Structure 1
Amino acid sequence: MGTDGAPFRRARRPEHKQQRYEAILAAARSQAERKGVSNVSLADIAAEVGVHKSALLRYFETREEIYLHLTAEGWQDWVDGMRDELARLPVGSVTGVAEVVARTLAARPLLCDLMTHTSLTLERNVSLEAVRNFKLAALAALADAEVLIRRVLPDLTDDDVRDLVGAVSAVAAGLWQATHPPATLVALYAEDPRLEHTRLEFTPSLQHLIEVVLTGLLHPRDGGGAPRPD
């Protein structure tokens, strides 16, 4: 029986299996957007699809694999979202790159939330093959990002862009949580104005970080530091 009381029908034809696969991903995305990734269980996803959770395990090993798949999709969607905007920037525009990267990531709140959980949980309760598929998809998205960003900032190396994206994803994960506090903190800020200045805004904070990182990568000798090896 389905969760709505209707008889459960197993998807048998390839097109029906693909529909079920996509329905699972859509339900997981919807649940996470409403409640946050950490608050969604496999049973929640199954309930939204309208099947028993054992049916989900015919398509995905675990809840974590479902969200790892959505993370890979999110990375490519983010890079695709930067494509046209970066193409319009003049060569050498550090501020332009920082603004586009920060703003397009902020426009993808689910990806920001998923970044928080990727290394903490999503990569841990899955098989080697599932992690391999995720890493390869992430590398493909990163390769696209390297081309797009280096067109605007040609003095960056591929390693520089990897360092930049790594820094952005690491900081964005923590910054997203800090700038979207739980209800208790929101109430505290409202009650005590002295604490209001401790609140951060996601997009401007991230953009500032990106500009700082890019400046350091483009001018490694500035400030008396040791020159970067060729």
Structure 2
Amino acid sequence: MSAGFQRARRPEQIEARRTAILAAARELLAERPVADISLRELACRVGLAKSNVLRYFDSREAIFLEVLDAAWTAWLDDLEGLLGDPAPADPGFAREERVAGKIAVTLGERRLLCELISSMAPVLERNISLEFARSFKGRAAASTERLGVLVRTRVPELSADGARQFALGVVVLVSGAWPLANPTDVVAKAAAEVGATPEFADGLAEGLTNLLAGLVARRR
């Protein structure tokens, strides 16, 4: 902890301290997986004691969930432009394949987002307060709804409920596919020996295409 530490009291001071902590968390996530980052290491990176970090966030897990929320919002902002304008339906399910493929490719380019999504339910949501859980889940639900709307705008045959199911399916598929595609060194070596090394973006695109096409087909 820096010798000149003073507790932030004014709103702008508190926000500046929170911003610094989140920036430190992102820096560490660029270096190693979330599971390998301790609260002590994060506190040292930002120049505070652990107890002082916890003045601004509920827990280590809450910090990384805030990073996830910001990364998810940034992805949706970019995705809206990348999906382009709505277009007439193509023969078969080519349009669904195109939309699902763009989602998969953009997620594959965002390691931080995918890692935090895959860690959300099993790790990061295990040590947070009820108040923070309400806030985070409310924001997560809004982001999921936004993704559903983006997809339904491009695939209008999809029902509102189907759009929500698809958006939730994106989270579920990323949660499972990312760890499989990014195993430990030992598991990666063993998988390579038997020819079982999954490619994240391609596998995700296939799964999302099947999900989206299936939801549309059920509506027809």
Compute the TM-score of the two structures, normalised by the length of structure 1.
0.86
Residue 209 of structure 1, CA deviation: 0.5
Question: 2:34 aligned with 1:37, yes or no?
Answer: yes
Structure 2 residues not aligned, in runs of 5+: 90-94
Residue 89 of structure 1, CA deviation: 5.4
User: Is contact 1:102–1:207 with CA below 8 Å preserved after alignment?
Assistant: yes
Residue 189 of structure 1, CA deviation: 5.3
| Cα separation, 2, equivalents of 1:172 and 1:130 | 24
| Cα separation, 2, equivalents of 1:31 and 1:205 | 28
| Cα separation, 1, equivalents of 2:73 and 2:129 | 22
Tell me the residue number matched to 1:61: 58
| Matched residue type, 1:51 | L
Structure 1 residues not aligned, in runs of 5+: 221-227
| Mapping 1:184-203, distance limit 5 Å | 184-188=186-190, 192=193, 195=194, 197-203=195-201
Q: 1:137 aligns with which of 136, 139, 161?
A: 139
Question: 2:115 aligned with 1:117, yes or no?
Answer: no
Hey, which bits of structure 1, 4+ residues long, moved more than 6 A? none
| Matched residue type, 2:21 | I
| Mapping 1:1-230, distance limit 5 Å | 1-2=1-2, 6-88=3-85, 90-92=87-89, 93-188=95-190, 192=193, 195=194, 197-220=195-218
User: Is contact 1:41–1:63 with CA below 8 Å preserved after alignment?
Assistant: yes
Secondary structure at the aligned position of 1:198 is classed as: coil
- Taking a change above 3 Å as real, the CA distance of residues 91 and 59 of structure 1, as seen in their structure-2 partners, is farther
| Matched residue type, 2:49 | H
What RMSD over aligned residues (CA atoms) do the two structures have, in Å?
Answer: 1.9
User: Is contact 2:144–2:168 with CA below 8 Å preserved after alignment?
Assistant: no
Residue 9 of structure 1, CA deviation: 2.9
| Cα separation, 1, equivalents of 2:69 and 2:198 | 27
The count of residues paired between Structure 1 and Structure 2 equals: 215
* Deviations 1:134-159 (CA, angstroms, capped at 9, x unpaired): 11111221222222111110011121
| Cα separation, 2, equivalents of 1:46 and 1:80 | 30
| Cα separation, 2, equivalents of 1:206 and 1:105 | 9
Residue 8 of structure 1, CA deviation: 2.2
Larger CA Rg, structure 1 vs 2: 1
Residue 45 of structure 1, CA deviation: 0.9
User: Is contact 2:87–2:154 with CA below 8 Å preserved after alignment?
Assistant: yes
Larger relative contact order (Cα-Cα within 8 Å, sequence gap ≥ 6): 2
User: Is contact 1:160–1:217 with CA below 8 Å preserved after alignment?
Assistant: yes
| Cα separation, 2, equivalents of 1:151 and 1:80 | 15
